[in-house]
Amino acid sequence: MTSCSSGDDNDNTEQSITQSSILGKWYSDSSNSDNINLDFLSSGKVNVTYIGGGNNGQNITETGYWSISGNTLKIHWDSADQGLENWSSEVLTLTDSQLKWKEKIGNQFYTFSFHR
């Protein structure tokens, strides 16, 4: 994941995080500077689409396999540069309509928000 809002939010998840609570399609909130759609499938697969993210404005989709343990969301990408295959973030909020996570990029934390 790339651009997003900067910050160090410490929200608590509003429901216990389970495999089934994250399933389905999620759309980035306006606070994200990238337009990202997520689709978490029950097969453990995830599709992440960057709307208009290509050099010529085309959509780019990355795929991988996801898992949740505690409040940690992990994705193992199908195609990634060496050393970047595994991604991890801290889930701050997960409700029926909102998903929010925090991840460290470089030396800074960023928060991503999504809705359904």
Third-level CATH fold of 5-115: Lipocalin (2.40.128)
Q: Cα separation of 110 and 83, whole Å?
A: 20
Predicted confidence (pLDDT) per residue in 11-43, tens digit = 444 445 666 789 999 999 876 667 899 999 999
Extents of the domains making up the chain: 5-115
Angle at 55 between CA 53 and CA 59, to 5 degrees: 35
Amino acid occupying residue 104: K
Question: Per-residue DSSP letters for 53-75?
Answer: -STTS--EEEEEEEEEETTEEEE
pTM of the model: 0.78
Q: Cα separation of 102 and 110, whole Å?
A: 6
Predicted confidence (pLDDT) per residue in 86-115, tens digit = 989 999 999 989 999 998 888 999 999 999
Looking at residue 32, what is its pLDDT? 63
Angle at 113 between CA 108 and CA 13, to 5 degrees: 90
Q: Which residues pair with 113 in a beta bridge?
A: 100
Sign of torsion over alpha carbons 8, 41, 65, 28: negative
